């Protein structure tokens, strides 16, 4: 069956611009996670949803980052006033429910010029 | 705070040789531990996980890992490496006492010599 999909696969933007990154979880998965992976490092937790609500957003680095999941399926990670330091691969994962095995998507590579 | 250390950034082994990738964690309670593999252009794939019970855990692709509480370690092993095992390997701990907020180590890049 279809895995986690993320769009776009690559995004180039200019410093100060606004970007949205989309994640389509595996059908039927109620939990969804966002991570950020900088070059040469392991993924870093950002936020996770159980259903429509953010169960924990303690990993979001600052208030420029925001994520939504209005219908409990697709999620969008939103970054305002992008900075060069936001350049990274943004990974999305989903699981059947919270605490279950996380299945990762291929990521969106964001480059802020 | 929880943390995961993978001391080896790069490891090179010959095809057919045995493999051990090291992972040390810092966590106050009984940890939820994971090993993931990341191949170029592909997403992270779970190899195995430990929640409780038998400290020797079997995973996919012939991998196993052993949880040693006294050493705060969760090393990954494989008796005979195949060229297709070349990838980046990440150890992770469930920072929330479950399997949600994963804290990853920095990764170990495995290269396999023919």
Q: How would residue A1 be classed by pLDDT, with cut points 50, 70 and 90?
A: low
**Does B43 contact A55 at a Cβ distance shorter than 8 Å?**
no
- B98 has a chain A CB within 8 A of its CB: yes
Q: Is B103 on the interface with A (CB under 8 A)?
A: yes
pLDDT tens digits, one per residue of B20-72: 999 999 987 778 999 999 998 778 999 999 988 889 999 999 999 999 999 99
Most A CBs within 10 A among B43, B94, B96, hence the mutation to make, goes to B43
* Chain A neighbors of B106, CB-CB under 8 A: 40-42
**In this structure, are residues A43 and A36 in contact, taking their beta carbons and an 8 Å threshold?**
yes
- pLDDT tens per residue across span A51-102: 998 889 999 999 999 999 999 999 999 999 999 999 999 999 999 998 888 9
Give B62-112 as a 3 state SS string: HCEEEEEHHHCEEEEEECCCCHHHCEEEEEEEECCCCCCCEEECCCEEEEE
For the segment A2-12, what is each residue's pLDDT rounded down to a tens digit? 899 999 999 99
Instruction: Answer yes or no: are the C-beta atoms of B74 and B91 closer than 8 Å.
Output: yes
**For residue A35, which residues of chain B lie inside 8 Å, CB to CB?**
102
Q: Does any CB of chain B come closer than 8 Å to the CB of residue A65?
A: no
Q: Which of A41, A43, A99 has the CB atom closest to B100's CB atom?
A: A99
What's the confidence (pLDDT) of residue B97?
72
């Amino acid at each position: 069956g279809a895995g986690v999909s993320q769009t776009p696969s690559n995004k180039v933007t200019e410093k100060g611009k606004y970007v949205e990154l989309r994640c389509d979880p595996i059908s039927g998965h109620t939990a969804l996670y966002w991570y950020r992976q900088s070059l040469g490092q392991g993924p870093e937790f950002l936020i996770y949803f159980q259903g429509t609500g953010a169960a924990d957003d303690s990993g979001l680095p600052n208030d420029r980052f925001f994520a939504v999941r209005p219908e409990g399926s697709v999620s969008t990670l939103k970054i305002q006033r992008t900075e060069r330091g936001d350049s990274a691969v943004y990974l999305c994962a989903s699981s059947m429910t919270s605490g279950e095995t996380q299945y990762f998507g291929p990521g969106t590579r964001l480059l802020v010029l | 705070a929880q943390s995961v250390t993978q001391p080896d950034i790069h490891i090179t082994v010959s095809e057919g040789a045995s493999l051990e990738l090291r992972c040390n964690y810092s966590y106050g309670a009984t940890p939820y531990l994971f090993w993931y593999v990341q191949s170029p252009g592909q997403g992270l794939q779970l190899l195995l996980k430990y929640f409780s019970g038998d400290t020797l855990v079997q995973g996919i692709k012939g991998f196993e890992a052993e949880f040693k509480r006294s050493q705060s370690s969760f090393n990954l092993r494989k008796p005979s490496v195949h060229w297709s095992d070349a990838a980046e390997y990440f150890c992770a701990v469930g920072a929330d006492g479950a399997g949600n907020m994963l804290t990853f180590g920095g990764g170990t890049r495995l290269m396999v010599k023919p």
